[in-house]
């Protein structure tokens, strides 16, 4: 019976970083649908080609594509596994599909964590993000600079700015997120499993808050 923790939050709210740190501390499996979709696009898979057009416009990938990605990953796991879902669900319809999938394999959602930060901060974070073409390591032009401009510290690969990290696309992504997740947040509030966490401060503070919630049984 797999346990699932859902991380909600707009682009740049810290879901991926939080998931990686919590994964290591509490033995969760981090499932990032965004990373899986980008890999599918890179590999030219059928799902990747279908998703690519939506991602380039900063729009959400359709529910039927997303649930296939998530369901496949959950079905590969063991019954005692614990998962951090990063980037899914993003709509009420996706949440209902996820609940159906979990019910079919005897799983349950234990916590929903809403990472919340000011819009202008999210835009600044994403505009400054740079990613290594070789190993995928993240940097930031202000807060996490590489030792050598444009070069990855870890492997020496070239750093680049993702097409969906340009300001106009970011603003659209945030608008879409806000519009489509409003009902989702109310849904989880009604179930009594939503925890709102401020994510505009230091990462260490955010991770301490999240791990505290997950270990306290709240």
DSSP letter (8 states) at residue 91: S
Question: What is the chain's alpha carbon radius of gyration, rounded to the nearest angstrom?
Answer: 17
Name the active-site residue from 21, 38, 130, 173: 173
Q: CB of 108 within 8 A of CB of 102?
A: yes
Contacts of 147 (CB under 8 A, 6+ apart): 153
Distance between CA atoms of residues 218 and 192, nearest Å: 10
**Residue 187: enclosing H or E segment and its boundaries?**
helix 167-191
Contacts of 165 (CB under 8 A, 6+ apart): 126, 127, 129
Closest by Cα among 19, 24, 51 to 38 = 51
- Residue 38 falls in the annotated catalytic set: no
- Residue 129 falls in the annotated catalytic set: yes
Cβ atoms within 10 Å of 61's Cβ, excluding its own: 22
- Residue 125 falls in the annotated catalytic set: no
- Residue 15 falls in the annotated catalytic set: yes
Name the active-site residue from 21, 29, 90, 125: 90
Name the active-site residue from 56, 108, 162, 179: 162
Distance between CA atoms of residues 92 and 102, nearest Å: 15
Name the active-site residue from 29, 38, 129, 130: 129
Name the active-site residue from 15, 21, 38, 125: 15
- Residue 82 falls in the annotated catalytic set: no
Tokens of 27: 């033995």
- Catalytic site positions: 15, 90, 129, 162, 173
């Amino acid at each position: 019976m797999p346990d699932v923790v859902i991380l909600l939050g707009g682009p740049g709210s810290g879901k991926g970083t939080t998931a990686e740190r919590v994964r290591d501390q509490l033995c969760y499996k981090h499932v990032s649908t965004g990373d899986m979709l980008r890999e599918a696009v890179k590999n030219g898979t059928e799902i990747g080609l279908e998703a690519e057009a939506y991602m380039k416009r900063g729009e959400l990938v359709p529910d039927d594509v997303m649930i296939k990605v998530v369901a496949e990953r959950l079905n590969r796991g063991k019954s005692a596994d614990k998962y951090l879902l990063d980037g899914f669900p993003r709509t009420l319809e996706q949440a209902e599909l996820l609940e159906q999938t979990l019910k079919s394999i005897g799983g349950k959602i234990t916590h929903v964590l809403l990472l919340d930060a000011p819009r202008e901060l999210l835009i600044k974070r994403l505009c400054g993000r740079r990613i290594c073409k070789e190993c995928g390591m993240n940097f930031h032009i202000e807060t996490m600079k590489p030792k050598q401009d444009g070069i990855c510290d870890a492997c020496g690969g070239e750093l680049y700015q993702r097409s969906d990290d340009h300001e106009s696309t970011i603003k659209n992504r945030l608008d879409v997120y806000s519009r489509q997740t409003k009902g989702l947040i109310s849904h989880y509030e009604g179930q009594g499993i939503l925890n709102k966490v401020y994510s505009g401060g230091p990462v260490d503070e955010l991770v301490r808050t999240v791990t505290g919630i997950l270990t306290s049984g709240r």
